[in-house]
Structure 1
Amino acid sequence: MQVPSSRPLPVAGSDLAEGVPCPSLGDMLLWTALLFLGPVVGTPALPKAVVALEPPWIHVLQEDNVTLKCQGGHAAGDPSTRWFHNGSAIPAQGRPSYSFQASKDDRGEYTCQTDQTSLSDPVYLDVISDWLVIQTPRLVFQKGEPIVLRCHGWRNRRLYKITFFQNGKSKQFSSMNSTFSIPRANVSHSGKYHCTGLIWPSMRTSQSVAITVQANLTNDEDAAKIEAENAITYSLLLHPEAIEEEAEEPDYQNHI
């Protein structure tokens, strides 16, 4: 009978790499996890850049001068900024400030990014072809914030007999004041605004813009109200037959 050899079996070439044993499956899984987690753990997220409009109006007329500024940090010696219009890069623009005379092609969303920031939230610019425009820095405000609206004429032509309207009702008339201010907004200031003004020799009317003022739910009473409304909605979702019974009740009474 042949006696089996006591020497260890030869190790395949793939199991050795310059004399180092192949790691176990557990070690491989651990290293894979570290590779995925390594860039995240201990690495702070970059702050977002911010696009600011100067003047601050999101509605402009054709031929108005517009300046966009990208606010965010830059590395020393590298002040480059990346600009995007409707998601497409603007290759010729590498500075923190981007100025142009507005045309219809300039309508849309603008974002920017620097080497020290992540991509900004988009800012939408609407370019309107008209004699008159009512301008606002944004469409949504929080309760308590100030709101300033401006009635603006094409090519900065001077306006006379200016009236601001909310939901069709006159709110302010002035012979020459082209701004309408609300020091502390509340939900009653939500609505559609437009303005009229005399651009010699004709009276002109702007398109309307919808302004929304959101209530700040900061007290327990408001929070309880929202919770109660959500509970009612959830109950109706669980018992839709209650809605059907309520809807059928008037017809039943009419047959008595």
Structure 2
Amino acid sequence: MWELTALLLLATLEKPILSLHPPWTTIFKGERVTLRCDGYHPLLLELRPISTLWYLGHLLLPSHKKSIEVQTPGVYRCQTRGAPVSDPIHLSVSNDWLILQVPYAAVFEGEPLVMRCRGWYDKVVYKLHYYHDGQPVRYFHSSANYTVPQARASDSGRYQCSGTMRIPVESAPMFSAKVAVTVQEARHAAAVRLLQVQSRRAPLRLGRRVHRPRARGRGAGIALVRGCYRQPQRPETQPLAAASGAGFSPGRGVHHRPGPTGCGFGAR
């Protein structure tokens, strides 16, 4: 079971992390938000700048930058060369007088759940009510965020808000659209945090051929370089980082003697 879990984690480590700034999935028409793609780059056989691919639904967007500004509703994803596609972010655009904004990121048990009821282009909302599955849960005299300090699975459901605005006189009560919120179990939080940390680590690139350090004793290991198995050569200098270091970068402080012909182990 643990082996399967480890394989599943490793299989998803290369997936880029797509984030939204500000972190609300619903905006008013005409507003813009910024999407950012933080990618983990797998082994590359050549040194070239890493470009980012952006998708709106199944449409490939023209930008190759790490972050883009958008205002069109839909499902956004990103991808870096050689890596899987990121998880999606659903962006909604509203023409209503009132919208309920919830965070795009997953909320886990024990974490705060924050949402806000927002009037058209930040007009003050009066007599503000928040609802959970149709039941009122909080009242404010005027605009304020609703916060659940330590969310539980029972806090999942459909949320809505209502209130009045002075346009210019006070209006009748208006209601936002309902928004689904899911609070995930705490046992999944550690795995998700691990993936987010691993995805931001420096890429390992094969700009120069690199092999594992020679093992002590007679039994030296076998290294796979460009699809060819060879007995590793002893480096002339010691690597700057320990062999077990997570941030070891090939070609930095290690020089190799040319290997035997026929395997492409030496310099180009």
TM-score range, shorter chain: 0.5 to 0.7
1:47 maps to 2:14: yes
**Preserved CA contact (<8 Å) 1:139 1:211:** no
Q: Which residue of 53, 57, 65 maps to 2:32?
A: 65
User: Equivalent pairs: percent with the same residue?
Assistant: 34
The CA deviation at 1:145 is: 2.5
Counterpart of 2:174, as a letter, is R
Structure 1 residues 56 and 112: alpha-carbon distance in aligned structure 2, compared to 1, 3 A threshold: same
Letter in 1 for 2:39: G
The amino acid of 2:27's aligned partner reads V
- Matched-pair contact (CA < 8 Å) for 1:187–1:214: yes
One of 85, 89, 94 as aligned partner of 2:60: 89
Q: Which has the higher contact order (CA 8 A, sep 6+)?
A: 2
Contact between 2:115 and 2:145, CA under 8 Å: does it hold in 1?
yes
Using a 3 Å threshold, how does the CA distance of structure 1 residues 170 and 118 change in structure 2: closer, same or farther? Answer: same
AA paired with 1:83? W
Distance in 1 of aligned mates of 2:177 and 2:143: 19
Aligned length: 170
> What CA distance in whole angstroms lies between the structure 1 residues aligned with 2:180 and 2:133?
9
Deviations along 1:37-75, one digit per CA (max 9) or x if unpaired, are xxxxxxx98711111111111122212221111112579
Q: Which residue is equivalent to 2:266?
A: none
User: Which amino acid in 2 is paired with 1:143?
Assistant: E
Kept after mapping to 1: 8 A contact 2:52/2:81:
yes
Question: In the TM superposition, what whole-angstrom CA distance separates every residue of 1:221-241 from its partner, at most 9, and x where no partner exists?
Answer: xxxxxxxxxxxxxxxxxxxxx
1:194 to 137, 145, 160: 160
Q: How many Å apart are 1:79 and its aligned residue?
A: 5.0
Instruction: Quote the RMSD (CA, aligned, Å).
Output: 2.7
Higher share of residues assigned helix: 1
- 2:124 matches 1:154: no
Which position in structure 2 is the counterpart of 1:206?
Answer: 176
Q: Distance in 2 between matches of 1:214 and 1:96?
A: 29
Q: Give how far 1:133 is off.
A: 0.9
Q: Mark the CA change 1:56 to 1:217 in structure 2 (over 3 Å): closer, same or farther.
A: closer
Task: Tell me the CA shift for residue 161 of structure 1.
Answer: 2.5
Please list the CA deviations of residues 67-89 of structure 1 after superposition, one character each: whole Å capped at 9, or x if unmatched.
11111257977253211110211
1:175 aligns with 2:141: yes
* CA contact 2:89–2:104 (8 Å) conserved in 1: no
Q: CA deviation at 1:124?
A: 1.3
Cα separation, partners in 2 of 1:217 and 1:61, compared to 1, 3 Å? same
Counterpart pick for 2:77 among 111, 123, 128: 111
Rounded Cα–Cα distance in structure 2 between residues aligned with 1:45 and 1:185: 27
Gaps of 5+ in 1: 1-43, 219-256
Using the alignment, how far apart are the partners of 1:170 and 1:153 within structure 2?
Answer: 19
Give 3-state SS (helix, strand or coil) of 2:121's partner: helix
Q: Which has the larger radius of gyration?
A: 1
Letter in 2 for 1:188: S
> Residue type matched to 1:147 in 2?
L
TM-score (norm 2): 0.56
1:193-223 CA-to-partner distances (Å, cap 9, x unmatched) read 11112221313210111223344579xxxxx
